[in-house]
């Protein structure tokens, strides 16, 4: 028969006996929404994207990156528009 482990949860008779709630407490605390734990991280998107490896000419990649932030999204939009014109999407 195994020995009963002592409880890690302390019970306080007086609220003054409770330890102070410091930054570490809140950093490790779980967030709840109603009675269920709130999921952590970024919410799941309705439609997710698939990572692919694609080999492109260096000058094409340089021109796209030079167009600024969001260049990968613009590539996706351009490919979608080309496929719509071709009647494939």
Q: What is the pLDDT of residue 38?
A: 72
The mean pLDDT value for 27-32 works out to 80
Tell which wins on pLDDT, 25 or 15: 25
- Cα distances (Å, whole numbers) of residue 27 to 24, 30, 41: 5, 9, 14
The mean pLDDT value for 38-64 works out to 89
Q: What is the pLDDT of residue 84?
A: 96
Q: What is the pLDDT of residue 70?
A: 94
The pTM assigned to this predicted structure is 0.49
Backbone angles phi, psi at 32, to 5 degrees: -120, 145
């Amino acid at each position: 028969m195994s020995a009963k482990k002592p409880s890690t949860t302390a019970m306080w008779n007086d609220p003054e006996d409770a330890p102070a709630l410091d930054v570490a407490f809140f950093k490790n605390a779980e967030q709840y929404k109603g009675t269920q734990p709130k999921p952590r991280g970024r919410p799941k998107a309705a439609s997710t994207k698939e990572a692919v490896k694609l080999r492109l000419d260096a000058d094409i990649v340089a021109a796209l990156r030079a167009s600024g932030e969001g260049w990968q999204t613009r590539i996706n939009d351009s490919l979608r528009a080309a496929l719509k014109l071709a009647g494939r999407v």
